[in-house]
A and B are shown apart, each in its own frame.
Chain A
Amino acid sequence: MSYIPGQPVTAVVQQIEIQKLRDGVNLILGFSIGGGIDQDSSQNPFSEDKSDKGIYVTRVSKGSPAEVAGLRMGDKIMQVNGWDMTMVTHDQARKRLTKKNEDVVRLLVTRKSLEEAVRQSTMQH
């Protein structure tokens, strides 16, 4: 998942569709995010490249809509409902995920195991 500046970013992504759960007034998804272009990316335990300022999933609550939909800890979120998440601030990411008028969010996430899986499948041919 490292990128070369100036070159387009390519990644193997998985689409995850999460139905928001209504908890009183709030709509919750059930996971926590970390990262962002205004944050210190060297503290990120999940990223391979410590200069990666993307949004990562740091925690997934047990039994939450996110876990049910297949989101795992350590995933990097590339897109939310079509909006890019690779170059956003932490607060912008939070806002994109917690829009009150959206009941479902479709995330494009990537993880290391996906790459491995794709490489293995291409190697087998």
Chain B
Amino acid sequence: MDTESIHSGYSHHSNRSRGSNKQSDRSSRDRHKSHSRDSSSRSDKNVIISASSAQPQQPDQSSAPTDAQDDNWGETTTAVTGTSDHSLSQEDLAGFGKETDTPAEKLNCIRFLPLVLTLLLGLLVLVTPLAFLVLPQLVWPERLQACGTACEGLFLSLAFKLLILLLAGWALFVRPTRASLPRIAVFRALLGLLTLLLLLSYWLFFGVRILDSQDENYQGIVQFAVSLVDALLFIHYLAVVLLEIRHLQPCFSLCVVRSTDGETHHYNLGLLSIQRAALVILENYYKDFSVHNPALLTAAKSRAAKHLAGLKVYDVDGAGSEAATAQSRAKIAAAARHRDTSHNELYYEEAEHERRVRKRRARLVVAVEEAFTHVRRLQEEEKKKPPGDEMDPREAAQAIFPSMARALQKYLRTTRQQHCHSMDSIQAHLALCITNNMTPKAFLESYLVAGPTLQYGRVCLQARQWMLVSEASVTSPLRHGTEFQLKCNDFSLVVTSKDIPHVKLSEEFVHPKSHKFVLQMQSETSV
């Protein structure tokens, strides 16, 4: 059916990360299932997904239904509006996040493809040596020469080597995937190909030399199988070196700057491809960077708007389009001459804000300290007496929370952090502090200082979908001067890499007995 083939925008997803925007896919495919087949030719036109930004999903959805109802869309309308007969109602919007996985199984399967391939390869690796051993016994058992202790020794070594190989393979390859990268991991693919090649060549030899000719020397066959397992163990060694060890030695220092507030961190990485380096940086981002707070950036934006709005250029002479550059130059010149007092406002505003924050902070600290004095841990001997008002930590937290709630809320409002902390999270944190005998200062530290993103739970942990923007191919290795960007919905991380300088370390031997001193007591100076 035509409607089934409308994966609207699916072909547009080739340059985005795999796990992104599943919701728009699912819901758009659901909507298209009920549409007429005339929309198939037009579905490509109205899906506006650009490669460098994650558009909000509404334009996709609202524009797609208009397409279905109006056959003459291409001729009659000049703009796609959001107000159509099938504009979304509130319930539909609410249902966005709750759709089930069934239509999207295909996407999930792609995510598990590497794991499945690895498991298949592992199975093949396990079965092949055993097949080599067993097939001769099955096909021509009577002609095989019995081999004694040498064979048994070989059997033992084969068994243990296989076991070690399987354990090592499990340890290295069967791990939960940290992320889905945009391109294939080159080293893994190479190793998989190498293993496959090895197995194929062994099967070829086995088929030609042993099966066809029905070799009777069973010890030779067993040695053949053992040599295969040895080769596989060496491939595993190669895998360990390539995948795990090679990038441990730091070669590059990466400077990561957040685009909104300029927070910078440096990381030392080894020889990695750009996509793997991006992965390492993202893992460290959640741990090192303080949480992104858009509320703190509004002041700078309003100032920028005021700068722009201050001057207007009127085109009096009716000059042509080349006056655009002349206009901007005129603007800059006029702005330079204009006696701007915005720096004054900024200074006083910041001073005032600082003062307010300090006052609220002082009130908060006092309130919290007082609240903590109301709670005391029950001593051992008191526990045996008839219980008075025993509370578990959660209840104790709820009991003392109201006395500090107001001060805490006011402080969070002043520092514009109130959206990061919900009341439940605050009470949970308070219970934790009470349980572990923490001081009020320890409790307050997570509110006074903006911590890393991981600390804030689900509320501030927004986009986990990142886009890697790079001029070089993302599987190419890092080099000195590589620049790339990691974009998410609200901000982007700009990464530049520099070589770690080659250090020339030379030695100077100091004999332990060479440290001799003399007192300078009587100095003689000539004048």
Contacts and interface: CB of A to CB of B under 8 A. Distances in A.
B522 A39 contact: yes
A33 B525 contact: yes
A94 B527 contact: yes
Nearest to A18: B527
A32 B527 contact: yes
A54 to B, nearest CB: 13
A99 B523 CA distance: 20
A31 B524 contact: no
B521 A43 contact: yes
Contact of A97 (B521, B522, B524, B527): B527
B319 interface: no
A43 B523 CA distance: 10
B524 A34 contact: yes
B521 to A, nearest CB: 3
Contact of B525 (A32, A40, A44): A32
Contacts of B519: 40
Contacts of A35: 522
Interface in B498-527: 519, 521-527
Contacts of B526: 28, 31-33, 59
A34 B521 contact: no
A32 B521 contact: no
A58 B524 contact: yes
A122 B469 CA distance: 105
A19 interface: no
A35 B522 CA distance: 6
Nearest to B527: A97
Chain A CB count within 10 A is highest, among B523, B525, B527, for B527
Nearest to B525: A94
A28 B527 CA distance: 6
Contacts of A28: 526-527
A98 interface: yes
Interface in A84-125: 90, 94, 97-98
B527 A59 contact: no
A40 B522 contact: yes
Chain A CB count within 10 A is highest, among B519, B521, B523, for B523
Interface string A34-55: 1100011001100000000000
A78 interface: no
A74 B368 CA distance: 76
B521 A39 contact: yes
Contacts of B522: 34-35, 39-40, 43-44
Nearest to A45: B522
B523 A34 contact: yes
A43 B524 CA distance: 12
A97 B527 CA distance: 7
Contacts of A98: 527
Interface in A40-81: 40, 43-44, 58-59
Contacts of A39: 521-523
A32 B526 CA distance: 4
A39 B523 CA distance: 7
Contacts of B523: 34, 39, 90
A29 to B, nearest CB: 5
A35 B523 CA distance: 7
A57 to B, nearest CB: 10
A26 B97 CA distance: 89
Contacts of B525: 32-34, 90, 94
B375 to A, nearest CB: 62
Nearest to B521: A40
A52 B521 CA distance: 14
A31 B526 CA distance: 6
B520 to A, nearest CB: 9
Contacts of B527: 28-29, 31-33, 94, 97-98
Nearest to A91: B525
B176 to A, nearest CB: 71
A50 B526 CA distance: 22
B525 to A, nearest CB: 5
A31 B525 CA distance: 9
A72 B387 CA distance: 98
Contacts of A59: 524, 526
11 contacts: A28-B527, A32-B525, A33-B524, A33-B527, A35-B522, A39-B523, A59-B524, A59-B526, A90-B523, A94-B525, A98-B527
Report, nearest first, the 8 A-B pairs whose CB atoms are least far apart: A40-B521, A43-B522, A32-B526, A97-B527, A34-B524, A94-B525, A29-B527, A32-B524
Interface of B: 519, 521-527
Given A33-B525, A40-B522, A90-B525, 13 more contacts: A29-B527, A31-B527, A32-B524, A34-B522, A34-B523, A34-B525, A35-B522, A39-B523, A40-B519, A58-B524, A59-B524, A59-B526, A97-B527
